Amino acid sequence: MFKFKFKSIACMLLISGAGTVCANVVSYNNLDFSSTGQSMWSPGSAQGLNIDRFIGTTWNTSPHLGGFTGGIETVTASYPHPHLPSGWECHGVLCSSGHFHNPGSIHTHTKNLGTIDTTTGARVDVSTSGKVGFQFGLHADSGSVNTDVKFDANLFVPDAFAITTKQFFNLNPNSSLVGGQLSTNFPELSASLDAIVGVRASATGKACAALLGCKTASTGELGFPDQTIPLVSFNDGGNGQIKVLGALDPTLFQFDSEISIPGPSGGSLGGVTVHVPDADALGGVVGDKLLASGSDDLIKLTADLDGLALAPLGLPGGGVSFDAGILSVSADLIDIDMGPILKIVQNFEFKPTLFVDLVFDNPVLIAGMIGPQTAWSGLWSALPDIAAMTGGNTRVTPTFSIQGLFKNETLLGIDGIFQLDILKAAFALEAFGLSFDLGELGPLFQILQRTNLFNTPPLFSNTLALNGFQSITGDAFIITASVPEPGTIVLMLAGLILLNLRLKLRYKGACRQ
């Protein structure tokens, strides 16, 4: 975030024709503006794709089999109860209580004997979940720009009551680009297809018999969690590789892998390598602008000079190979490669300009504008003369922003390469028609030289407005003006009249001469 400073300085010229005026400097340091994800080709955000889609089925169910009959039941017993001839029915110990009924009648009493469990049957509760299908991913970036810009800015505010109302003065603003970074992400494309398989299940069983109770058993969780099996991918991780089942397939064409050109009598006469370019750029401030450049190889063509020299003699270049059981060794005693490399080059330039919106809490007069104003917008370096309309304090709140033009030049470059390797070898295990690389050794001595031969004119060149920057509201500053006394106004008018007459007399004298 920016830092705000306010301090006094020596007097300086702020008012034309009025001499020097004491003023304070107001500084806004580290105004930090940033913009991300903008297109490097045209105004607006960079276009892209981010697709991650599952094609298949998922489930999570809990079915059950079987069931139960019966349950917890209450057992009662009924018995007849005759009444005494008097009709009295005795209750409690020693007939401590009771009540009258019809004499000699009989009615039925019911007694609760408790409960019994008559549950009978069996039930199995099954819980199963899983996921089976394919996960498809496609990610693309058309080429994006990220920008960070830092400005320092300051202006000079007249000291309190150093100016009067309706007296125009200038804030003498200035600014400087003090930091920043410009980075780009080259257009990219990657795709992948994975198989996903996962199954989980568990079961709980319960069996019950009347009067004997119930028993419960569980299987615990069976199966396995989701497993991802890579099927095929391209440029996953930005390396340009094509993988099948998660591994490189030697039968497929591969970016960044040399395609050897065989000689008439064995050996190699050279090779061709096709790259997936990733010409990301990174740069910073140079003067009053931000510059960044990036490049990466497209096609590499090499001639095997040792093979070309020895092929007419019927010799297989500087390479030898032999098998020792399952161990295969191939070696180059001397390898001399030379050829051109076609590369893509991008040069970027961004020149930012600081703008400001000023808001006045009291109306002011602004040079070049008619009538009172409460706001002004424009270049920070082009703040016009202003004048307070009322005495006392006028609060001014600045809101900073930046605008600028972004330039993209994309072209092709041709580099020449010369490489000399002395004694290098590769080892592999070969069995059952399969080969497993064990690695390489050397070279014992190497010379590698690469030189830019020339660049083509730009294949693409465009200058556009770079957007996406935020605004920053700075701390307000105060302009304090006094109201001139009537005598001062008269003296000032008289002085202006005398000055005007003097200028006219000088003009007439010059014309007579």
Q: What is the DSSP string of 138-168?
A: EEEE--EEEEEEEEEEEEEEEPTTSEETT--
pLDDT band, residue 5 (cuts 50/70/90): low
Asked which of 37-46, 48-57, 321-330 is least confident by mean pLDDT, the reply is: 321-330
**Is a pLDDT exceeding 50 seen at residue 356?**
yes
Task: Give the DSSP letter string of 392-409.
Answer: EEEEEEEEEEEEEEEEEE
| E strand residue ranges, 316-381 | 319-324, 327-366, 373-379
What's the Cα-to-Cα distance from 148 to each of 84, 177, 179, 282, rounded to whole Å? 109, 11, 8, 12
**Is a pLDDT exceeding 70 seen at residue 322?**
no
Cα 428 to Cα 423: distance, rounded to the nearest angstrom: 17
Token look-up 């095997």 returns 304
Asked which of 203-212, 264-273, 417-426 is least confident by mean pLDDT, the reply is: 264-273
**In this structure, is the dihedral angle defined by the CA atoms of residues 494, 481, 165 and 482, taken in order, positive or negative?**
negative
Task: Give the DSSP letter string of 407-472.
Answer: EEEEEEEEEEEEEEEEEEEEEEEEETTEEEEEEEE--SEEEEEEEEEEEPPPSEEEEEE---PPPE
Higher per-residue pLDDT: 96 or 169: 169
DSSP 257: S
**Is a pLDDT exceeding 80 seen at residue 289?**
yes
How do beta strands 392-431 and 445-455 pair? antiparallel
**Is a pLDDT exceeding 60 seen at residue 206?**
yes
Q: How confident is the model over 97-131, as pLDDT tens digits?
A: 766 666 656 777 777 777 888 889 899 999 999 99
Token readout for 63 is 């079915």
pLDDT band, residue 324 (cuts 50/70/90): low
For the chain, the farthest-separated pair of C-alpha atoms sits apart, in whole angstroms, at: 164
Higher per-residue pLDDT: 229 or 19: 229
The answer to whether the beta carbons of residues 89 and 83 sit under 8 Å apart is yes
pLDDT the model gives residue 307: 63
Instruction: Give the range with max mean pLDDT: 3-12, 198-207, 333-342.
Output: 198-207
pLDDT the model gives residue 146: 96
Q: How confident is the model over 442-465, as pLDDT tens digits?
A: 677 778 888 999 899 999 999 999
Mean pLDDT of the chain, nearest integer: 82
Cα 497 to Cα 390: distance, rounded to the nearest angstrom: 25
Region 255-277: mean pLDDT is 77
Three-state SS string across 188-199, please?
EEEEEEEEEEEE
The answer to whether the beta carbons of residues 170 and 14 sit under 8 Å apart is yes
Neighbours of 262 (CB within 10 A): 11
Is residue 504 left, alpha or beta, with left meaning phi > 0 and alpha meaning psi from -120 to 50? alpha
Asked which of 94-98, 119-123, 145-149, 179-183 is least confident by mean pLDDT, the reply is: 94-98
**Is a pLDDT exceeding 60 seen at residue 312?**
no
Which helix (H) or strand (E) element contains residue 310? Answer: helix 305-310
Asked which of 255-259, 324-328, 352-356, 388-392 is least confident by mean pLDDT, the reply is: 324-328
Asked which of 263-267, 342-346, 461-465 is least confident by mean pLDDT, the reply is: 263-267
**In this structure, is the dihedral angle defined by the CA atoms of residues 367, 373, 378 and 383, taken in order, positive or negative?**
positive
Q: Which long-range contacts (CB under 8 A, 24 or more apart) does 210-216 make?
A: 210/70, 210/117, 210/118, 210/119, 210/120, 211/116, 211/117, 211/118, 213/117, 214/119
